[in-house]
A and B are shown apart, each in its own frame.
Chain A
């Protein structure tokens, strides 16, 4: 099945916005998402490939519409949901 992330050579994409942002993160929440991912990876909570996989499994319209760090947040949220049985115990 086609995943939404596999963009190399895909037709239909226009000009690149080459403008440079003044700051590395546009919003503080983005920096926090970045850091949370680093911490969870370092703790071995999931691997980089599991993280990439979680992003690739986003619905294509979600992937296309979400901002970069919103994709990260969606992936992390999905991977850190507690199993229902555990929560009920």
Chain B
């Protein structure tokens, strides 16, 4: 299975999952085939390249950028990206400026725009990030190597409802001549969470 790498020490967990699957399969709730198909489909569709395309388009098309900030679900659909593939969520895009830097967290669990960014990184789900992102975001950003000017206000979005957030980073200086495809290569996954500048 692509995207999945088996480590040591998981034999007991595997046995427990086997037992769960057997119990649920007996009741007609899951099949091994459906599980495999769900994993494969997830790894195929939920990718950060979706997020990179959205940002590159927003950087190169002001009208799209305006639509994206106004109604992200509709704007993203224009690019043929299906947000509803995983769960019906409402997407909000928040834009970084010279004055405001946005950062995303879910302090209560691990809500994340999975369809646009792929599986979330371990640090996003960690107790350390969830606890500290809302109390000392500047110190958290420093651990990611991000230093912001004093005057830049940090705005942290805690994903407490069905809203999912995506950060629109500032377009890097010196990227003027680049087309959308090249712009997309400048964007990073962390930039879309707000733990990187781009």
A–B contact with Cβ pairs below 8 Å: the answer is: yes
Q: Which residues of A contact B (CB under 8 A)?
A: 5-11, 13-36, 38-41, 43, 45, 48, 52, 55, 64, 68, 70, 73, 76-77, 80, 82
Does B148 sit within 8 A of A, measured CB to CB?
no
14 A/B residue pairs, CB under 8 Å, sorted by A? A6-B107, A7-B130, A8-B105, A13-B128, A24-B118, A26-B5, A26-B7, A29-B14, A31-B3, A36-B21, A38-B38, A52-B109, A76-B20, A80-B23
Partner of A73, one of B16, B29, B158: B16
* Best-buried of A14, A39, A73 by chain B (most CB within 10 Å): A39
A-B CB proximity, top 6 nearest: A8-B107, A24-B119, A35-B38, A27-B10, A13-B131, A9-B135
A-B residue pair count with CB separations less than 8 angstroms: 146
Instruction: Using A9-B107, A48-B87 as known contacts, list a sample of 8 further A-B pairs with CB atoms less than 8 Å apart, ordered by residue number in A.
Output: A7-B131, A8-B131, A8-B133, A28-B1, A28-B14, A41-B87, A64-B127, A80-B29
